[in-house]
Amino acid sequence: MATKVEERSYEDALSWLRDHGFDLTEAPGTAGRVFVRKYNCSAAIQKDGDDGVKIFAYPGYLIGSEISKLVNKGYQQVLKTAKGEVAATADHLKALHQFTEELKEALALPSLYNESLGTVSESYQYDRIKDRDKPDAQRPKRPWEVAGAKAMAKKSPA
């Protein structure tokens, strides 16, 4: 059974965010783009079309004044910025999850089951699948591929 999803206008979303304790900051140099902040987490939203709203910068925990990117490395989740990485604690993840759920409610976006169970990383970088998201030409050669190429070169006559 299909249900109709409530749509919220840009102005209605901003009003909802203000009413629920979010700090709003206009993005410098752009019209219709706002940074939202709460629980030491931040994201950016912008006007979409005539009166819609969409997320411009994915939610992340603030480290200094920079929005971090949550990366799952298999053995540890880390908050990654341009300056480095910080191990994500349970408090970081709880704040980020709460912020993301409230932001979705403000924008009238669907809350998906798997995302509602806990914090979802923006990137997954398990050591065995590292760089698989890159095109074949940009992937570094694995040790067994290098060894195989050397063995093939020795076998082929010159």
Give the contacts of 36 (CB within 8 A, at least 6 positions apart).
Answer: 17, 22, 23, 24, 42, 43, 44, 45, 103
Q: What letter does residue 115 receive in the DSSP assignment?
A: H
pLDDT at 141: 79
pLDDT at 147: 78
Residue 27: phi, psi to the nearest 5? -70, 130
Q: What is the spatial distance between Cα 134 and Cα 72, in angstroms, rounded to a whole number?
A: 17
Longest dimension (CA), the chain: 76
pLDDT at 1: 46
pLDDT at 127: 59
Q: What is the spatial distance between Cα 19 and Cα 71, in angstroms, rounded to a whole number?
A: 31
pLDDT at 151: 73
pLDDT at 158: 56
pLDDT at 5: 60
Regions of the chain short of the pLDDT cut 50: 1
